[in-house]
Amino acid sequence: MASSGRGAGLECNLGEAKEAVKRVDKLVLDEALLPHGWARDVVLSVDAEGWIVAVEEDGDTRGAERVAGIALPGMPNVHSHAHQRAMAGLAERSGPGPDSFWTWRELMYGNLAQLTPDDLETIATHLYVELLKAGYTAVGEFQYLHHDLDGSRYVQPAEMTLRTLEAARAAGIGITCLPVLYGQGDFGEPVSVGQKRFVCDLDGFLDLVDRVDQAVDGDADASSGVAPHSLRAVPPDMLAALIETRPQGPVHIHAAEQEREVDACRSFLGQTPVAWLLAEMPIDERWGLIHCTHMTPREIGELAASGAVAGLCPTTEANLGDGIFAAERYLDAGGRFAIGSDSNSSHCPVEELRWLEYAQRLTTRRRNVLAGAPASSVGRRLFDAATTGGGQALGRRIGALARDHRADLIVLDHRDPLFAGRKGDSVLDTWLFAGNRPVVRHVMVGGRWQIRDGHHADEIPIARSYRSVLERLQA
């Protein structure tokens, strides 16, 4: 949004939004999607720490705040590179030769050459406000920009990851910090100039992770995990040592995003990335394999059976020309998935879920491919799977309006003509496949309203700072 030219009405809304960032202890939801289905007049009780302690249909409404609209669990975003938001739209001009993921990567490296910790915090804060407004209530920040401009260590080794943590706290979004282990250039090649800010040895990385663990300790809206970047960037012995040292918590890794990566992995390790991981690593429910665009039928079945989550980022995968995930076969095999905004060219869960289904339609030349059963709602299946898988992948009790979960929810504007006459699952189908304008009215994270009537209390100064950083970086 623009940071100037605002009227008195908006100033009033922002004042109300600022007043609303207080802990709420009891809500009455006019209409809500609960784990067992749709319900009306749902009383949601929240404790002082932001946990849902009771969910009652037709319960005692005395002393409760009534919330008009359509309440849904907040959507987890399992894969974000916040710094890449600053270059969104700047890589859409053709180069001297064929453009690809690999030419885009060099442009991305170049955009990091000036990025300071202050810049990253400003960019991430603005991005996280945008994510909230779109309906995300938690983010997994896959952060690999660890070192200073010349590649030297910061005095605080976890400086950049901690800046994204502070950005999440400022915006009010939940976060799983995923500092990235980057140990080498592509499959044993020397580290390039563009990668000098990423690379750590294992001891240095574990020190960084310890500092992140300490920073999130005691914060119910923040957690941490580890993210070995990929098999091309982490040698097998280093990956094995990391997993042995870190037996709990989320583990996220890029896998099989590009065909060139798959071919190089086969040459270097003798197997494709997903096959190697399934054979050599203890892949289970705490793992998130990001992209998995290029898998064999056998790999699809084995990954689905492992209990791991495939982190899908359809808008980024399309933007970078990665390919199309075999979603129908994977879901039919019982596979779990979540969505992420990745490069943050898009920051909207609607677009991710819509294009997950649309890509299947384009390749199969059928409609409602991912519905899963006759007379079933595509929107409902995708939304339920993404919220459940997202909570698992981020290692947090989120993604459902249920007892012992965080009070993370969004409210769609029932007054919008888009929803006229819509009930139940048709609301989700309409939102995901017929809407092109913002309809998320309110957003709550950990029992606090962070978005009211489409606005964040601090959106004006946050946007102003963001514009200043982008103007300087692009000058």
Query: Catalytic residue positions?
Result: 291, 342
Residues facing 38 on adjacent strands: 33
Q: Which helix (H) or strand (E) holds 129?
A: helix 117-134
Taking the mean position of all CA atoms in its chain, how far away is CA 82?
A: 10
- Of 233, 146, 250, give the one whose Cα is nearest residue 198: 146
Phi, psi of 286 (to 5 degrees): -85, -5
3 state SS of 104: helix
Q: Which residue's entry shows tokens 């406000």? A: 129
Residue 314 is encoded by which pair of tokens? 């359809």
Taking the mean position of all CA atoms in its chain, how far away is CA 23?
A: 24
81, 88, 119, 120, 344 from 114: Cα distances, Å: 16, 16, 9, 10, 19
Phi, psi of 244 (to 5 degrees): -65, -35
Taking the C-alpha atoms of residue 41 and residue 56, their distance in angstroms, rounded to an integer, is 9
Taking the C-alpha atoms of residue 405 and residue 220, their distance in angstroms, rounded to an integer, is 11
Quick one: CA dihedral 194, 197, 200, 206, positive or negative? negative
Q: Which residue's entry shows tokens 């209530």? A: 137
Other CB atoms within 10 A of residue 364 CB: 10
Parallel, antiparallel, or unpaired: how do β-strands 448-452 and 440-445 relate?
antiparallel
